[in-house]
């Protein structure tokens, strides 16, 4: 499959337009689907809020429709879906710490025989991370609340504390176990959050 338009010279400028990204991703999804021809492999691709697959998967209820705008969270839906179809060793390639945090969260929800790995970083900083082992080391409560902690201390969409890095915040969390209880309450998306929970987070 080949496009019939001129390739943009300035990609950053081109990708700033949301409609351009939407059309490009749809084109790439169709191109990969037409190109794919491997009998012993399963291809699953995001296409807007839907997914397309080859060979076709009949049950994609856990994947589609999906209104996640970020690939960070959508790729974890695909990982979870893969484990439901008997794949016990999942590998995600990423350079984003947000994905690492989400993977640790998801890993603690998987079956004991499932392993979720991350091929993380580039160049001399590249390494493999075992999200399932990290989740087991943290324990279910801290693994579950890790995304909230990460958001509070700085992530793609949230600024970080001025003059205080992740290591300092982590040391405080370790020394302040009541924070875990507070973060668990927030992670449940309760309609109201008690004042004492706010106080615990403010203390952090």
pLDDT score for 190:
67
The parent domain of residue 86 ranges over 79-138
pLDDT in tens, the chain (204 residues): 555 667 888 888 998 898 888 888 888 888 898 899 888 888 888 888 888 888 888 888 888 888 887 888 888 988 988 898 888 999 999 999 899 999 999 999 999 999 999 999 999 999 999 999 999 999 999 999 998 888 888 777 777 777 777 888 889 888 888 888 888 888 776 677 788 888 888 888
Boundary of a domain, candidates 67, 90, 124:
67
Answer whether residue 74 is part of any domain.
no
What order of strands is seen across the sheet that includes strand 115-120? 89-94, 115-120, 127-130
Output the pTM of the full model.
0.79
User: Per the structure, how many domains does the chain have?
Assistant: 3
Same domain, 83 and 62: no
Whether residue 73 lies inside any domain: the answer is no
143 and 124, same structural domain? no
């Amino acid at each position: 499959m080949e496009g019939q338009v001129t390739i943009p010279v300035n990609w950053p400028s081109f990708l700033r337009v949301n409609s351009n990204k939407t059309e490009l991703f749809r084109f790439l999804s169709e191109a990969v689907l037409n190109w794919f021809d491997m009998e012993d492999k399963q291809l699953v691709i995001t296409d807007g809020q839907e997914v397309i697959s080859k060979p076709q998967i009949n049950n994609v209820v856990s994947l589609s429709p999906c209104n996640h705008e970020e690939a960070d969270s959508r790729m974890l839906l695909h990982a979870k879906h893969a484990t439901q179809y008997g794949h016990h060793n999942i590998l995600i390639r990423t350079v984003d710490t947000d994905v690492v945090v989400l993977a640790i969260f998801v890993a603690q929800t998987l079956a004991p025989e499932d392993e979720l790995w991350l091929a993380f970083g580039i160049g001399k900083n590249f390494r493999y991370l075992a999200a399932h082992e990290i989740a087991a080391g943290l324990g279910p409560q801290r693994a579950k609340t890790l995304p909230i902690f990460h958001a509070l201390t700085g992530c793609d969409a949230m600024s970080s504390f001025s003059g205080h890095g992740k290591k300092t915040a982590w040391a405080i969390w370790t020394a302040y176990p009541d924070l875990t209880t507070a973060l668990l309450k927030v992670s449940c998306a309760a309609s109201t959050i008690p004042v004492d929970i706010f106080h615990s987070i403010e203390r952090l």
